[in-house]
Amino acid sequence: MTSQPTMTKAGNGPDGPGEPGGPDAGLQAGLKNRHLSMIAIGGVIGAGLFVGSSSGIATAGPGILLSYALVGTMVVLVMRMLGEMSAANPTSGSFSAHADRALGRWAGFSIGWLYWFFWVVVLAIEATAGAVILESWIPAVPQWGWALIVMVVLTATNLVSVGSYGEFEFWFAGIKVVAIGAFIVIGGLAVFGVLPGVDSDSAGLGNLTDHGGFLPNGPGAILTGILLVVFSFMGSEIATLAAGESENPQRAVTKSTNSIIWRIGVFYLGSIFVVVTLLPWDSDAIQKDGSYVAALNSLGIPNAGEIMKFIVLTSVLSCLNSGLYTASRMAFSLGQRGDAPKAFARTTGRGVPMPAIIASVVFGFVAVFFNYEFPDSVFLFLVNSSGAVALFVWLVICLSQLRMRKIIERETPEKLVVRMWLYPYLTYATIALIVFVLGYMLTDTEHDGRQTVLLSLLVAAVVVGIALVLEKVRRGKARAEFQEEQDSTTV
């Protein structure tokens, strides 16, 4: 059975009322309900939505809406499964801890380390993306300098307390939510011709069919579109990790799980719908300026590019903040379960897993260095070899849920407050869809899908191999200790 993280209420440690606990006091419930709500909402809005949607629109045309809808449905189902397990057993290890119990220690070890690897690579990607924007505003500081500043500031934020992480993420996510909400409202009014002061000749529902039809590049483009948008959904699971440090984990998980449908529907489908109705899908501006900037420019909004730069920077900082938090909590959980150095499970008096944070950010800095020194070799390998981890994580969640449902029903049926719909049929259907997407990626040479899957499988095979070897060593050691105990008893 998976060991659970030590959890104490912030400000009520062994040092007395109102004082934080001493060293190794364990994680503390420092996240408030408003933090969890905004983390859940913001976690589903990644920078990829802003910067990656233009290539998807160019590939699938208005049919990209179906690509987003299919991936969104898959994510909703996966998060429902994760919500079922996490509401019954909230833990900072989330799906890794569930896999540990449901599938075996090798599974929890493997998917936990792959997930950690994914996020430390993301740290480098997002730090560089943020540095590019900041350098465009203040060129006196070089890109590497901005990347260093951003990483140091957000590392310091995470080291202070989980509450400071939650507060930063509350405001970062809040800006994203307000920005997309305003974009949808303003764009929607323009599409229907009721936005005061704007007379856009290009806007209208006719853009969905007037330029080669709804599927101008054929039905197969929907599948290609899926490959281009699937990774922008990574981050939906962060709320289940963060819930372990909230005052009411079960309530937080239940709330975030139940709200994911409207979050994906509004922020992804809603905003992309506005983009493809404001402009023809084949407009040169979408590829040149980016989908959201082009849409804002079409409405004559001044400084649209700079506005979008600020929103993208906010998303980048949010992703960095959450990425460092997520990587460190996964490392903490692995340390607690004996699948990582024991030091990773140590916490400060404020409940901060400092060694896990430091280790994660060090690897993030190393990845940033590779991005500047070896962008087309080492760093490209890191990016491609972590690219399919999102699909691996979702697949493991599905497989874990099939086993965990039976375990929960047998041991603690009263904790099944969130239930997967049409179990087990929708679970099997989701597994089939994920496997299909991975298989289809192997046929994709135009967008590096095959390379991404093969390199990710290579890294996954290495990690699983290490897990199996370690498990064999542990079993051998346990048998030896048991035999030694038996011999001493006999004597």
Q: E strands, 93-222, where?
A: none
Question: How far out from the chain centre does Cα 394 lie?
Answer: 11
β-bridge partners, 246: 31
pLDDT of residue 13: 37
Of the two residues 252 and 223, the one the predictor is more confident about is 223
Whether the per-residue pLDDT at 314 is higher than 60: the answer is yes
Q: Give the residue ranges of DSSP H helices in 7-93.
A: 33-43, 47-60, 64-88
pLDDT of residue 5: 40
Q: Report residue 469's pLDDT band, with 50, 70 and 90 as the boundaries.
A: very high
Whether the per-residue pLDDT at 10 is higher than 50: the answer is no
pLDDT, mean of residues 380-392 = 87
pLDDT of residue 428: 97
pLDDT of residue 107: 94
- For residue 285, give every residue at least 6 positions away whose Cβ sits within 8 Å of its Cβ, in sequence order, or none: 279, 294, 297, 298
Please count the helices (runs of H) and the strands (runs of E) in the chain: 19, 2
Q: Report residue 198's pLDDT band, with 50, 70 and 90 as the boundaries.
A: low
Q: Tell me which residue has tokens 């020194």.
A: 373
Residue 488 zone, left/alpha/beta (φ > 0; ψ -120 to 50; rest): alpha
pLDDT, mean of residues 106-132 = 92
Pick the closest to residue 460 from 485, 486, 438 (CA basis).
438
Instruction: Tell me the CB-side half-sphere exposure of residue 415, using CA atoms within 13 A.
Output: 20
Distance separating alpha carbons of residues 141 and 133, to the nearest angstrom: 12
Whether the per-residue pLDDT at 403 is higher than 90: the answer is yes
Q: Report residue 95's pLDDT band, with 50, 70 and 90 as the boundaries.
A: very high
pLDDT of residue 243: 77
Of the two residues 163 and 402, the one the predictor is more confident about is 402
pLDDT, mean of residues 459-467 = 95
Q: Report residue 491's pLDDT band, with 50, 70 and 90 as the boundaries.
A: low
Measured from the Cβ of residue 479, the count of other Cβ atoms closer than 10 Å reads: 10
At 420 the three-state DSSP class reads: coil
pLDDT in tens, 51-94: 778 888 998 999 999 999 999 999 999 999 999 999 898 887 88
Distance separating alpha carbons of residues 317 and 168, to the nearest angstrom: 9
Q: Report residue 212's pLDDT band, with 50, 70 and 90 as the boundaries.
A: very high
Whether the per-residue pLDDT at 17 is higher than 60: the answer is no
Q: Report residue 260's pLDDT band, with 50, 70 and 90 as the boundaries.
A: confident
Of the two residues 137 and 32, the one the predictor is more confident about is 137
Pick the closest to residue 84 from 447, 425, 415, 378 (CA basis).
415
pLDDT, mean of residues 118-132 = 89
- Answer yes or no: are the C-beta atoms of 164 and 158 closer than 8 Å: yes
pLDDT, mean of residues 245-264 = 82
Least confidently predicted of 119-133, 169-183, 196-210, 378-392:
196-210
Q: Report residue 398's pLDDT band, with 50, 70 and 90 as the boundaries.
A: very high
- Answer yes or no: are the C-beta atoms of 158 and 165 closer than 8 Å: yes
pLDDT of residue 199: 58
pLDDT of residue 332: 93
- Answer yes or no: are the C-beta atoms of 46 and 235 closer than 8 Å: yes
Q: Please name the helix (run of DSSP H) or strand (run of DSSP E) that holds residue 28, with its range, or none.
A: strand 27-29
Distance separating alpha carbons of residues 325 and 431, to the nearest angstrom: 28
Q: Report residue 204's pLDDT band, with 50, 70 and 90 as the boundaries.
A: confident
pLDDT of residue 6: 41
Pair of tokens at residue 364: 């993030």
Of the two residues 271 and 481, the one the predictor is more confident about is 271
Distance separating alpha carbons of residues 55 and 77, to the nearest angstrom: 26
How high is the mean pLDDT of the chain?
86
Please give the share of the chain, as a percent, with pLDDT higher than 70: 93
pLDDT of residue 342: 92
Q: Report residue 276's pLDDT band, with 50, 70 and 90 as the boundaries.
A: very high
- Answer yes or no: are the C-beta atoms of 57 and 286 closer than 8 Å: yes
pLDDT, mean of residues 129-141 = 92
- For residue 60, give every residue at least 6 positions away whose Cβ sits within 8 Å of its Cβ, in sequence order, or none: 66, 67, 215, 217, 221, 222, 224, 225
At 455 the three-state DSSP class reads: helix
DSSP for 343-381, please give it: GGG---TTS--HHHHHHHHHHHHHHHHHHHHSTTTHHHH
Whether the per-residue pLDDT at 21 is higher than 50: the answer is no
pLDDT, mean of residues 426-445 = 93
- Answer yes or no: are the C-beta atoms of 62 and 43 closer than 8 Å: no
Q: Tell me which residue has tokens 């990607």.
A: 125
- For residue 196, give every residue at least 6 positions away whose Cβ sits within 8 Å of its Cβ, in sequence order, or none: none
Of the two residues 211 and 42, the one the predictor is more confident about is 211
Of the two residues 33 and 431, the one the predictor is more confident about is 431
Model-wide pTM > 0.85 = yes
